[in-house]
Amino acid sequence: MSGFNKIINSYEDAMDGLVDGMTIISGGFGLCGIPENLIKEIKRKGTKDLTVASNNCGTDKHGLGLLLSDHQVKKVIASYVGENALFEKQMMSGEIEVDLTPQGTLAEKMRAGGAGIPAFYTPAGYGTPVGDGKEVREFNGRKYILEEALQGDFSIAKAWKADSHGNLIFRRTARNFNPMAITAGKISVVEVEEIVEVGDLDPDQIHLPGIYVDRLIKGTFEKNIEQRTVRNT
Amino acid sequence: MSGFNKIINSYEDAMDGLVDGMTIISGGFGLCGIPENLIKEIKRKGTKDLTVASNNCGTDKHGLGLLLSDHQVKKVIASYVGENALFEKQMMSGEIEVDLTPQGTLAEKMRAGGAGIPAFYTPAGYGTPVGDGKEVREFNGRKYILEEALQGDFSIAKAWKADSHGNLIFRRTARNFNPMAITAGKISVVEVEEIVEVGDLDPDQIHLPGIYVDRLIKGTFEKNIEQRTVRNT
Amino acid sequence: MALTREQLAQRVAQEFKDGYYINLGIGIPTLAANYIPKGIDVVLQSENGILGMGPFPRDEEVDADIINAGKQTVTLIEGASVFSSADSFAMIRGGHVDLTILGAFEVDCQGNIASYMIPGKLIKGMGGAMDLVSGAENIIVTMTHASKDGVSKLLSNCTLPLTGKECIKRVLTDLALLDIEGGRFILRERAPGVSVDEIVKLTAGELEVTGDVPEMIFEI
Amino acid sequence: MALTREQLAQRVAQEFKDGYYINLGIGIPTLAANYIPKGIDVVLQSENGILGMGPFPRDEEVDADIINAGKQTVTLIEGASVFSSADSFAMIRGGHVDLTILGAFEVDCQGNIASYMIPGKLIKGMGGAMDLVSGAENIIVTMTHASKDGVSKLLSNCTLPLTGKECIKRVLTDLALLDIEGGRFILRERAPGVSVDEIVKLTAGELEVTGDVPEMIFEI
């Protein structure tokens, strides 16, 4: 079974091969379901000039924000900047290039990147700055823009449970961009909360098959919350 | 909760509104995971001039083959004809028009139809008769053809378990085309083996959310097997 | 009197129908979940991947893995499902959500909407808004009718970068409920105590006013 | 001697490597699962939606809901996963499968393959073959070298409608193992007891033969 054992024992090994100038596709939404420890390892390595595709860029203190504060990032492909002052500042000042991409388009570009679909048409962004310079085409009387697939040298993601073959189960909204991000990286690295025995997961209930996972590592997670909202009743 | 109760009590009501000339998208692969009873109801209704999109057309005796034998079908969009003599005969004689579509393209066309993607590029079929008349475009030095989304007036499908809201779980390879077929129909009708209480299904383990299901009916199934292969050891 | 945030939420919730799947944007739209009319059931979609979003959790229920599109901790109702962002936006873009409610900086009488950036000043990002406005048939924009300085936000042509082109058909402001048809705003309802004249004055885009314009009705 | 079906399956299985995810087409390719070399593990993909396909079931294990792409009843191995056809072909088209083995009516020295219909005679349909040949980097076609009448199936140009264009790089026939490079077949191995001359005679497309061509080796 050695050929299918994806388990890596150190974060250093997990991110082995990442070098300056590479493109990373990351799962996570805000701070939910982010590959916390893989991001910290990239910070530790100090890899520079990275292009990062991720819905958000974390916060000033957590997640991908850690890479911004160390000036490791050259370009960000994201849908949302709000609530991340450092990201907004580096974007406004021109220090980093930002490709603002509608959230659904970003998810679909990652899916397409993993699915052998080089490009697709979407209505999102037609007639807006997102559509500038992109082909517009009409289907059934409606206008759409052409969006190309996104692929990365690495993808980094977080799942809940895995078996050693890399079969993955995500938990609640920590799923978000993680499944697609994993499929779109040449080398995909996934950290999980728990590794179970091969055969313990119901084949019908695996969210992402192990074929997409190159490296798997078990971590412990802070799971920071951006907006802790509660009710009293 | 009345607004979310999708349960229909008779097959007649389940297919209400289907009229001559409509397009039906069907789930199923061979005879596996096919909406057996919905097909029988269409046969009973005698609706004519149907366009049917489905990977196969069943066999001469089962599944969509039943609609071929009653000459209810005008056009078939499918990837595979083999092992269905009647289908091959009606195709060869020109009685029915057949749009042979690669299996992955067919699945993706259904997904696109449900997902608001009007068209996408795929390498499958480039340089073959499937690509005839379709736009060819190069991305990163490779050639692809443009394929358009598929939508139907009705979609018919089979799942394993559901709750009354139409949240669905499929079983084993009976999943096949069913999830995408359901999303691509203006009216989607799903038959299932079991209906459980709302709240009984784990939110993480629902294969297709109830938002896609308009009508839900509990049936009993023959589950015919095309190639019963066994080993002795 | 201009509507309060709570009243805006209350009025927009009157548009809910039994069996609707609804996506509520951040801010006022989210508040509408507190005013679902009696006797009807709706299911809330959150574009980060929930169908069946519930209220905020009790303190002891808080789960970092369950958040909404505004990154707030939430709960799941019975019958909820959770899915990936690609699946969530397939649902949205595919037109399966019955009603979408979101905020805006500006709308115009062509149905254009601007909501994601103010060049040189503010870059929020569009998040899922561009997908939402392009995917939904039925969209209500909730916003203030004019700035504090009395500058109209209901324009002939949006001045800010667009979130979506020719996609908005209904706007609820703190002063009025308006439809957008044939290149103009059509005044449907007034906020209680707000005059037609006041609305006309604060609407920069072409505005049609026909007959008596009723006041909004709020149940007590 | 031309290889038997079993020998074809056995030789093609020698191409398997530890950790390979493999899609086996209907017929001879499926038989290769019986000859996985000792000491290595492979996982079989079935394009109707299985990763981790197992052997045929015992009589009492037969499950109508578990079939392979050939509609045969099969089993799932430990660690298997099941998914939709869209997800299965995303996997295939996206190049995630390490090795694809399928049959053909004809191949030519441009790497074209024809396998799904004979106009006027036979319409099988392409099933997943067009997606498979367009998605995989690593494809082996298994076929007979020539018809029973001695008509070559390894051509300069396929005569039948194509399943894929310029996508085949390796062909295993009952007579030989050949690569396709630079617009010609390159003879790599001979079936035991089959002469180079015989292969040359039955190969219509341009064929390069360099040096001694070794015989295939079969473990006992």
pLDDT on residue C12: 96
Percent over 90 (pLDDT), chain D: 90
Beta strands at C154-155 and C106-108: parallel, antiparallel or unpaired:
parallel
Cβ-based contacts of D127 with chain B (< 8 Å): 79-80, 82, 102-103
What pLDDT, on a 0 to 100 scale, did the predictor assign at position C220? 58
pLDDT for the residue numbered B15: 98
pLDDT of B233 strictly over 80: no
For B113-120, what is the mean pLDDT?
A: 98
Give pLDDT tens digits for A134-143: 999 999 999 9
pTM over 0.90: yes
Cβ–Cβ of C56/A230 closer than 8 Å?
Answer: yes
The four Cα atoms B179, B181, B184, B188 give a dihedral, to 10 degrees, of -90
Mean pLDDT of A155-170: 98
Name every chain B residue with its beta carbon within 8 A of the beta carbon of C18. 2-3
Contacts with A172 from chain C: Cβ below 8 Å: 63, 65-66, 76, 82
Cα gap C158→C117, rounded to integer Å: 12
At residue B232, the pLDDT reads: 85
Reported confidence tier of residue B115, pLDDT bands at 50, 70, 90: very high
Cβ neighbours for A223, distance < 8 A, ≥ 6 positions apart: A31, C64, C65
Lowest mean pLDDT among A70-79, B86-95, D17-26, D59-68: B86-95
Q: Which class for D23: exposed (0-12), middle (13-18), buried (19 or more C-beta within 10 A)?
A: buried
CB–CB contact B173 D162 (8 Å):
no
SS3 track for chain C: CCCCHHHHHHHHHCCCCCCEEEEECCCHHHHHHHHCCCCCCEEEEECCCEEEEECCCEHHHCCCCCECCCCEECEEEEEEEECCHHHHHHHHHCCCCCEEEEECCEEECCCCEECCEECCCEECCCCCHHHHHHHCCCEEEEECCECCCCCECEECCCCCCCCECCCCCEEEECCEEEEEECCEEEEEEECCCCCHHHHHHCCCCCEECCCCCCECCCCC
- Report the relative pairing of strands B23-26 and B152-163 from DSSP bridges: parallel
Q: How many Cα atoms are found within 13 Å in the side-chain-facing hemisphere of B193? A: 13
Please state, in angstroms and rounded to a whole number, the distance separating the CA atoms of residues A85 and A81. Answer: 8
pLDDT in tens, B47-99: 999 999 999 999 989 999 999 999 999 999 999 987 788 998 899 899 999 99
How far apart are alpha carbons B58 and B64 in whole angstroms?
5
Q: Which residues of A touch C67 (CB under 8 A)?
A: 29-30, 32, 173, 225-227
| The residue to which tokens 């939508």 are assigned | B151
pLDDT of A159 above 80? yes
Say if C82 is an interface residue toward chain B (CB within 8 Å).
yes
Name the minimum distance, in Å, from the CA of C174 to any CA of chain A: 25
pLDDT score, position B146? 98
| Per-residue pLDDT at D44 exceeds 80 | yes
Residues with pLDDT less than 70, chain C: 220
Mean pLDDT of B207-223: 98
CA B126 to chain centre: 25
Q: Return the pLDDT at C157.
A: 98
pLDDT for res B217: 98
Q: What is the mean pLDDT of residues B205-209?
A: 98
Residue A133's pLDDT band, with cuts at 50, 70 and 90, is very high
Residue from the list A4, A116, A203 with its beta carbon closest to the beta carbon of D76: A203
Q: Which of B113, B114, B165 sits opposite C79 (nearest CB)?
A: B165
d(CA B73, CA B66): 10
What is the pLDDT, as a whole number, of residue D1? Answer: 86
Q: Is chain D touching chain C, with at least 3 CB–CB pairs below 8 Å?
A: no
The minimal CB distance from A102 to the residues C57, C131, C162 is found for C131
Give me the mean pLDDT over the A3-8 stretch.
96
ipTM, 2 decimals?
Answer: 0.97
Give the residue among B209, B166, B221 at the shortest CA–CA distance from B190: B166
pLDDT of residue D27: 85
Burial of D150 (0-12, 13-18, 19+ CB in 10 A): exposed
Say yes or no for a CB contact (<8 Å) between C94 and B116. Answer: yes
pLDDT, tens only, A118-129: 999 999 999 999
Does D94 sit within 8 Å of A116, measured CB to CB?
yes
Specify whether the CB–CB gap between C51 and C81 falls below 8 A.
Answer: yes
What is the rounded CA–CA span in Å between residue B109 and residue B123? 14
Average pLDDT over residues D22-28: 91
Flag if A204 and D78 touch (Cβ within 8 Å): no
Question: Mean pLDDT throughout D120-147?
Answer: 93
Q: What is the mean pLDDT of residues D40-68?
A: 97
Indicate whether A1 pLDDT > 60: no
- State chain A's mean pLDDT as an integer: 96
Task: Give the per-residue pLDDT at A83.
Answer: 78
Touching partners of A (3+ C-beta pairs < 8 Å): B, C, D
Residue A194 is inside which H or E element, if any? strand A185-196
- From D6, D47, D60, D181, the catalytic residue: D47
- What pLDDT score was predicted for residue B207? 98
CA dihedral sign, ordered C100, C105, C109, C110: negative
Rounded distance between C-alpha atoms, residue C108 and residue B14, angstroms: 43
From A48's Cα to the closest Cα of chain C, the distance in A is 25
Q: Do D84 and B177 touch (CB under 8 A)?
A: yes
Q: CA of D55: which chain B residue's CA is closest?
A: B231
Q: Residue A195 and residue A213: Cα distance in Å, rounded? A: 14
Which residue in C6, C15, C47, C189 is the catalytic one? C47
Q: CA nearest B169 in A: which residue?
A: A204
Sheet with C106-108, edge to edge strand ranges = C113-114, C106-108, C154-155
